[in-house]
Structure formats: C-alpha cells, structure tokens
C-alpha cells in the first residue's frame, strides 16, 4: 500500500498585493503628494518627485488607478489636463502614510 502525501500550496499573504504595489517605484511618493495636495496634475508629479521620468511615472499612476487607489479625472479646461486624486480606497492608506512620515521625521 502506497501513501502519497500532497504538499499544500502556501496561501498568499493577504498583504502581499498591497506590499507589491507600495514597493513599486514612485508609488509612495505619488500617494504622499496626492494625500497632501488633493488634486495633482501629471506635470506637478514630474516637478515634485525627484528622479521621476514620464514613462515610469505613467506606469505607476496607471497601476494606482487600475488598483483603485487613485481617481483619474480629465478637466475640461483649456488646455485640457488630467488630475489625480485619492479614491476612498486610497484614503484608507492615509493613516499608514502618516506613520511612514512620522517614522521618517523621528530618524
């Protein structure tokens, strides 16, 4: 009689997706900026985030919008522009962002 043992696949950690997103390049910078300034244009991100380039910033913003942390709004003024703001889901990260900021300030 042969006994087979199946190895259970480890379940994904519930925070894994959030940690993956937060560790992406410029994600924390973007979230901090939107938490402080409320509505932020793409060009403002480029000016205020040191080392950001258009391509990397575009990918990070798109990921945050796709994951539901940011809202992308087209403002129908001339010239036409896009603004980013925190969604309800993104606002849930504000206490965490404040803890990051407090840790940085204490060091």
- d(Cα 87, Cα 92) in Å, to the nearest integer? 9
Q: Which pLDDT tens digit goes with each residue over 45-64?
A: 999 988 889 999 999 999 99
pLDDT, residue 10, reads: 60
Distances (CA, A) of 66 to 40, 58, 62, 94: 17, 12, 6, 19
- d(Cα 61, Cα 49) in Å, to the nearest integer? 13
Terminal Cα-to-Cα distance of the chain (whole angstroms): 63
Using an 8 Å Cβ cutoff, are 84 and 69 in contact? no
Give me the percent of the chain exceeding a pLDDT of 70: 85
10 exposure class (CB count in 10 Å sphere: 0-12, 13-18, 19+): exposed
What CATH number belongs to 17-106? 1.10.10.10
**Structural domain boundaries of the chain?**
17-106
pLDDT > 90? residue 76: no
Q: Considering the chain, what is the average pLDDT of its residues? A: 84
| Axis crossing angle, helix 94-106 with helix 27-37, rounded to the nearest 10 | 100
pLDDT > 60? residue 1: no
Using an 8 Å Cβ cutoff, are 59 and 43 in contact? no
């Amino acid at each position: 009689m042969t006994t087979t043992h199946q190895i259970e696949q480890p379940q994904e950690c519930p925070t894994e997706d959030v940690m993956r997103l937060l560790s992406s390049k410029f994600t924390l910078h973007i979230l901090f900026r939107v938490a402080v300034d409320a509505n932020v244009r793409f060009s403002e991100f480029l000016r205020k985030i040191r080392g950001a380039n258009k391509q990397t910033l575009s990918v990070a913003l798109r990921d945050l919008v796709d994951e539901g942390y940011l809202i992308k709004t087209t403002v129908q003024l001339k010239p036409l522009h896009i603004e980013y703001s925190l969604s309800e889901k993104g606002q849930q990260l504000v206490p965490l962002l404040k803890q990051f900021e407090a840790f940085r300030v204490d060091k």
